Amino acid sequence: MKFHVDKPDRLENRLIELGFQQTASEQHQDTYLRHPCRDFKSTDEAFRIRRINQAACFTYKGPRQSTAVKIREEIELPIDAAQIVPWQTLVERLGFTTLPPVS
């Protein structure tokens, strides 16, 4: 679940007051892949390689379903972080192009 927080500092302070402690930190980097024959932006889809610290995965997100709550199909395939470059090369050979990474 994801929630919009208007005042993240206030939330963080309140969590500390309640005794919560940070146990880990994650660094995300997404590299989105553009389909050679379909505009994912217009179809409301996404295909990316996500790096989280030393882990990685391919993620496909389908179009949002028209409901009050944001629901979409999501398929994640974990990959060994050491294999990111060969996998990225493979999808590029299949015609996908990579967009600049987003952190």
Pair of tokens at residue 73 = 């199909």
Q: What is the DSSP string of 41-62?
A: HHHT-EEEEEEETTEEEEEEE-
* Closest to 75 (Cα-Cα) out of 101, 38, 50: 50
Q: In a structure prediction context, what are the per-residue pLDDT tens digits for the chain, which is 103 residues long?
A: 667 888 889 998 999 999 998 888 888 899 999 998 999 989 999 999 998 888 899 999 999 887 777 788 999 999 988 888 899 999 999 999 999 989 8
CA atoms of 39 and 46, how far apart (whole Å): 10
Question: Is the whole model's pTM more than 0.75, yes or no?
Answer: no
Q: Residue 43 sits in which domain range?
A: 31-98
In a domain, 3, yes or no: no
Pair of tokens at residue 55 = 């882990």
Domain total for the chain? 1
What CATH number does residue 71 fall under?
Answer: 2.40.320.10
